[in-house]
Amino acid sequence: MDGLGELRGKYLAAVAGAADEAALEEVRLAALGKKGEIALKMRELGGMTPEERQVAGPRLNGLRDEVEGALKARKAALADAALDERLKAEWLDVTLPGRRRGQGTVHPVSQVTEEVTAIFADMGFAVAEGPQIESDWYNFDALNIPPEHPARQEHDTFFMARAPGDDRPPHVLRTHTSPVQIRAMAAQGAPIRVIAPGRVYRMDMDQTHTPMFHQVEGLAIDRDISMAQLKWVLEEFCRAYFEVTQVELRFRASHFPFTEPSAEVDIRCSWEGGQLKIGEGASWLEILGSGMVHPKVLSAAGVDPTEWQGFAFGMGIDRIAMLKYGIPDLRAFFESDLRWLRHYGFAALDMPTVSGGLSR
Ligand code: DAH
């Protein structure tokens, strides 16, 4: 049988030159596959005389074994090389110093929301929620603010767009948390005691106003709730929140469509050397709006005003956060500046509780 020396040279060279496993497999098929050159040669053995076969057989077997051996060796070498490559790429210097994990902080708004919630929970108030995109009925009408009422304009409302041709009144971004009063009473009826913290929106922007800010609404309805309980609850809240033993509140007659009578509440304070002190001094600081819930508001929420009455209040969370923690500019609250967040943020594991301390 001729040409075996040539075949040997050809395939051993091809095996040695195969750059990866796929190329190596092609060489194997070309030599030893069903239609491979060496395999075809082996088939020729059948047509030989026994004498010819005795010579050609061992030579062919030897060639096949040699090529198979070379393929196997090359395959192992390629695998070794691939592993070396991987080890080199994934090499890890365990002597390098570890990288410091970033430590997030709790935003002052979240912290104060937790503090307020803890204080009111202690007085038996549950937390209620409502949507930030609100119908004008919940945001205005149900709260005794009819379409022609000037308060509708004063709220600098953001209106949601409607599809062209759809002339139902547009939804609004809620301008206050007061609509949650309606939703909570409609869902739960009376008696009820809830607070509703959350985001609200108005078109306004300066050092003390941002287009999105936070309020907390309070609502207590029962058969005999009066302004006296409102005053006690708010005093109790201020003592706990500002972490002082003495507070003095001043109720100033005011007007809100959803309460009658209505009062704005100021807290006694001093500003010595730019430092705010709560509970002493000759200054007054306005902190919230409040009043006795208007009978029309109770009716709108399905609560009978001849049977039930109570108080409501609304307070700016960002504002009381600025006061307590001495933060001068409201706009910085929502700029996500990491330096600001590290400075004014709170440790993530310090959950405020009334018994364990709010801010310490
Ligand atoms: N909703 C009012 C506002 O955003 C605040 C307010 C005042 C809420 C009096 C009340 C209230 O519940 O009784 O300005």
Classify residue 62: in a domain, yes or no. Answer: yes
Separation of 211 CA from ligand 1 center, angstroms?
17
Could you tell me which of 238, 223, 231, 163 has the C-alpha nearest to residue 190? 223
Q: What angle do CA 306, 311, 312 make, to 5 degrees?
A: 125
Could you tell me which of 214, 177, 217 has the C-alpha nearest to residue 195? 217
Are 340 and 298 within one domain?
Answer: yes
Can you point out the beta strands (E) in 247-308? Answer: 249-256, 259-272, 275-278, 283-293
Q: Is residue 144 in contact with ligand 1, taking CB distance under 6 Å?
A: no
Are 50 and 136 within one domain?
Answer: no
Give Cβ neighbours of residue 46 (< 8 Å, ≥ 6 apart).
none
pTM, full prediction: 0.72
Mutate to test the pocket of ligand 1, among 176, 225, 252 (most ligand atoms within 8 A of CB): 176
User: Which of 55, 89, 123 is the last residue in one of the domains?
Assistant: 89
Are 12 and 159 within one domain?
Answer: no
Are 187 and 301 within one domain?
Answer: yes
**Rounded distance, CA 184 to CA 221, Å?**
11
The domain tally of the chain equals 2
**b/e per residue, 15-34, with b = 16+ CB within 10 A?**
beebeeeeebeebbebbbee
For 25, the domain range is: 4-89
Contact 284, 251 (CB under 8 A): no
Give me the pLDDT at residue 107, please.
95
Are 312 and 257 within one domain?
Answer: yes
Give me the pLDDT at residue 5, please.
85
Are 65 and 207 within one domain?
Answer: no
| Start-to-end Cα distance in the chain | 96
10-residue stretch averages of pLDDT, the chain, 360 residues long: 83 90 90 88 86 87 90 91 90 83 88 97 97 97 91 84 91 97 98 98 89 97 97 96 94 96 95 85 94 98 98 96 89 92 86 73
Classify residue 222: in a domain, yes or no. Answer: yes
Residue 149 CA to its chain's centroid (Å): 37
Q: Is residue 259 in contact with ligand 1, taking CB distance under 6 Å?
A: yes
Are 83 and 127 within one domain?
Answer: no
- Tokens representing 137? 């009925």
Classify residue 94: in a domain, yes or no. Answer: no
SS3 at position 263? strand
Separation of 178 CA from ligand 1 center, angstroms?
6
Q: What is the CATH number of the domain that holds 337?
A: 3.30.930.10
Are 238 and 314 within one domain?
Answer: yes
Give Cβ neighbours of residue 231 (< 8 Å, ≥ 6 apart).
249, 251
Are 176 and 70 within one domain?
Answer: no
Classify residue 358: in a domain, yes or no. Answer: no
Q: Supply the residue whose CA is at minimum distance from atom 6 of ligand 1.
A: 314
Contact 210, 330 (CB under 8 A): yes
Give me the pLDDT at residue 360, please.
56
Classify residue 349: in a domain, yes or no. Answer: no
Classify residue 117: in a domain, yes or no. Answer: yes
Are 136 and 23 within one domain?
Answer: no
Separation of 116 CA from ligand 1 center, angstroms?
17
Give me the pLDDT at residue 1, please.
64
Classify residue 101: in a domain, yes or no. Answer: no
Q: Is residue 256 in contact with ligand 1, taking CB distance under 6 Å?
A: yes
| 335 to 15, 26, 96, 107, 330: CA distances (angstroms) | 64, 61, 35, 12, 10
Classify residue 265: in a domain, yes or no. Answer: yes
Q: Is residue 241 in contact with ligand 1, taking CB distance under 6 Å?
A: no
> Which atom, in ligand 1's list, is nearest to the CA of 311?
13
Q: Supply the residue whose CA is at minimum distance from atom 13 of ligand 1.
A: 290
**Rounded distance, CA 119 to CA 235, Å?**
12
Are 79 and 159 within one domain?
Answer: no
Could you tell me which of 151, 157, 114 has the C-alpha nearest to residue 134? 157
Are 166 and 245 within one domain?
Answer: yes
